[in-house]
């Protein structure tokens, strides 16, 4: 979330002159900060070792690999000297922003909470699961916004994506997600496995590709978690006598 906030607030926002885009991205920066607070709330509530948790991105290869890939592929979007009136710079920027919207937020984020949601659906980790549902609801709006921006730039500037560059992006992203899945799911947990997680990544990636008019990168991938969309479109009605209606701080179990 901090990487997303820096990408938007320090780089992408200044490259988009339309005020309506800047206004929404200002909201998005605020939401990323709220997400970071929510993670901290969960970590404190679960009494986890905070220094060990926050240091994992440095010492765990499967996590560090995703961070390194993101930094490299977001470089063009972050670079302050980009001249978007230059065709080559614009092509580089749109590939970087496509990664941010379709992979980083649209697939990695969207699929990343699934292991907790799988537990939540069995009545476990209910409070943490609901915190993550609010976050996923926001992320669903974030990547939808990003993909619409990609489509608009492609239409206005008559841009054609390099098929090899797109293919490399998806293959590298899948490899990183699979390594991450094998790290957090060395053994299946209540039926949720690393391959299950990776297959859902491939299915979601196909959806994001179709949204921007690209060929499906993983034809035939199955929707093994049909309940995932429901997590992002959660019902927010609460029983007045059982819980406080305070987002990011509620712990009531959802109805399924």
Domains of the chain: 60-232 (1.10.620.20)
- Chain-wide mean pLDDT for the chain? 87
Q: Distance from first CA to last CA of the chain, Å, rounded?
A: 29
* The two three-digit tokens of residue 181, written as one number: 């899945």
pLDDT 10s digits, 152-204: 999 999 999 999 999 999 999 999 999 999 999 999 998 899 999 999 999 99
Per-state percent for the chain, helix, strand, coil, to nearest 5:
70, 0, 30
Q: What is the pTM of this model?
A: 0.86
pLDDT 10s digits, 77-97: 888 778 888 899 999 999 999
For residue 237, what pLDDT band results from cuts at 50, 70 and 90? low
State the Cα–Cα distance between residues 53 and 47, nearest whole angstrom.
Answer: 11
Task: Give the CA distances from residue 197 to residues 46, 113, 183, 188, in Å, rounded to whole numbers and listed in that order.
Answer: 24, 10, 12, 10
**Per-residue model confidence (pLDDT) at position 251:** 45
- CA quadruple 4, 99, 54, 138: dihedral positive or negative? positive
For residue 16, what pLDDT band results from cuts at 50, 70 and 90? confident
Contact 98, 212 (CB under 8 A): yes
Phi-psi region of 250 (alpha: psi -120 to 50; beta: other; left: phi over 0): beta
Average confidence (pLDDT) over 114-120: 91
């Amino acid at each position: 979330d901090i990487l997303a906030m820096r990408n938007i607030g320090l780089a992408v926002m200044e490259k988009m002159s339309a005020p309506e885009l800047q206004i929404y991205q200002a909201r998005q920066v605020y939401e990323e900060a709220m997400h970071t607070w929510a993670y901290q709330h969960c970590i404190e509530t679960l009494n986890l070792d905070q220094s060990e948790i926050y240091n994992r991105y440095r010492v765990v290869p499967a996590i560090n690999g995703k961070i390194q890939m993101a930094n490299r592929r977001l470089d063009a979007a972050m670079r302050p000297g980009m001249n978007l009136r230059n065709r080559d710079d614009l092509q580089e920027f749109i590939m970087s922003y496509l990664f941010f919207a379709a992979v980083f937020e649209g697939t990695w984020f969207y699929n990343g909470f699934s292991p907790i949601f799988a537990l939540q659906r069995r009545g476990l980790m209910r409070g943490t699961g609901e915190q993550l549902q609010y976050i996923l609801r926001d992320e669903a709006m974030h990547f939808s916004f990003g993909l619409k921006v990609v489509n608009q730039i492609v239409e206005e500037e008559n841009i054609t994506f390099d098929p090899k560059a797109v293919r490399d992006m998806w293959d590298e992203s899948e490899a990183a997600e699979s390594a991450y899945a094998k790290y957090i799911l060395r053994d299946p947990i209540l039926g949720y496995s690393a391959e299950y997680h990776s297959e859902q990544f491939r299915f979601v990636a196909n959806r994001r590709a179709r949204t921007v008019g690209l060929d499906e990168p993983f034809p035939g991938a199955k929707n093994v978690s049909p309940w995932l969309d429901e997590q992002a479109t959660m019902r927010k009605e609460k029983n007045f006598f059982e819980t406080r209606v305070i987002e990011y701080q509620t712990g009531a179990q959802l109805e399924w």
